[in-house]
Copies of this chain bind each other. A is one copy, B any other.
C-alpha cells in the first residue's frame, strides 16, 4: 500500500512452495540485480517479513541484511510476528528499520505500532516544513509521516504497561519453542494431520493441514463447525469457525499442562 501510495513498484522474492513455503533468501541478490537491470537503479528499500503469519516460517534475516548491506540498500524488517515473543536483534540483522505491531506480538491494544530506526531517521522523521502563507503559522513539531496526532490513549497506556512483561517473556522463548515443537510432533502422531512450513518449527504460529478433520466435517451434523464447537466445549477458543481443511493454531504462553490438554482435546475429538 505504501508503495502504491508513493507510485513505486514492488518486486517479490519467491518462496519454495508446498509444503515448506520457505522464502528463498538467497534470491534477494538475484532480485536486486533484476531491479537494477530493469529500472537502471537499485531498489529504494528491501523488505523482509521476519516471520510470516501463514506458516510461521522465521526467515534468516541476517543473510538478507548482509545482501542489503553489500548493495548499500536500506533494509526494513517487519517484525510484527517476532518482536515481543522471541529475541530480535536489529544490529545482527543489519536492519535499518524494524516495524512492530503492538497488537500482534507485543501484548498491547490496537491500534498501535512501532517503527524503530537505526539510520535514515532525519529523512523519515522529517518535520513539517511548510508554513501557512497568511498567519505564518508553522508546525515544526509535527512529523510529515506521522499524519497529525501520533497515538495516545489506551493503546499507548497498554503498551507501556505490558512492556516489562514482554521483556520477561522473550527471555523464555527457548522453552516456549520446546513446547511448540512437542505439540507439533504430538499432533502429527494423531494421523491425518501434517504441519506446513519449516521443520523443525521456529515460531509459535503453526499451520496444520488436516484432511482427517475435513473428512469428519463431511459426515458430521454440524458440518465444518464441529471442530470449533468441540474445542470450545473443552475450553479452547479462537479457532476460526467452519474451517477444517487447514488449522492455524498457537500454543504460545500455555503451560506444559495446558499444551497437553490441547493435544488431548484433539485426540479426544478424533477418537469420537
> Closest chain B residue to A131 by CB distance?
B10
Residue numbers in B under 8 Å from A10 (CB-CB): 130, 132-133
Which chain A residues numbered 92 to 117 have a C-beta less than 8 Å away from chain B?
A: 103, 109-111
- Pick from B1, B128, B132, B153: contact of A155, CB under 8 Å: B153
Smallest Cβ distance from A145 to chain B, in angstroms? 7
* A239 interface residue (CB < 8 Å to B): no
Smallest Cβ distance from A165 to chain B, in angstroms? 19
In the complex the two chains form, is B147's CB within 8 Å of A1's CB? yes
In the complex the two chains form, is B4's CB within 8 Å of A132's CB? no
* Number of chain A residues close to chain B: CB under 8 A: 35
Smallest Cβ distance from A29 to chain B, in angstroms? 16
In the complex the two chains form, is B12's CB within 8 Å of A128's CB? no
Which chain A residues numbered 1 to 51 have a C-beta less than 8 Å away from chain B?
A: 1-5, 9-15
The docked-state distance in angstroms from the alpha carbon of A5 to that of B134 is: 21
The docked-state distance in angstroms from the alpha carbon of A148 to that of B78 is: 14
* A271 interface residue (CB < 8 Å to B): no
In the complex the two chains form, is B111's CB within 8 Å of A144's CB? no
In the complex the two chains form, is A13's CB within 8 Å of B111's CB? no
The docked-state distance in angstroms from the alpha carbon of A10 to that of B144 is: 15
In the complex the two chains form, is B154's CB within 8 Å of A109's CB? yes
Residue numbers in B under 8 Å from A13 (CB-CB): 134
* A200 interface residue (CB < 8 Å to B): no
In the complex the two chains form, is B12's CB within 8 Å of A132's CB? yes
Residue numbers in B under 8 Å from A14 (CB-CB): 134-135
Contact with B along A120-133 (1 / 0, CB 8 A): 00000000111011
Residue numbers in B under 8 Å from A132 (CB-CB): 10, 12
Do A12 and B135 form a contact, CB below 8 Å, given A109-B153, A110-B153, A130-B4?
yes
* A270 interface residue (CB < 8 Å to B): no
> Closest chain B residue to A145 by CB distance?
B5
Residue numbers in B under 8 Å from A152 (CB-CB): 110-111
> Closest chain B residue to A14 by CB distance?
B134
- List 16 interface pairs A-B (beta carbons < 8 Å), by A numbering: A1-B139, A1-B142, A1-B144, A1-B147, A2-B147, A4-B129, A4-B130, A5-B144, A10-B130, A10-B132, A11-B133, A12-B132, A12-B134, A12-B135, A110-B153, A111-B155
A-side interface residues toward B, CB under 8 Å? 1-5, 9-15, 103, 109-111, 128-130, 132-135, 139, 142, 144-145, 147-149, 151-155
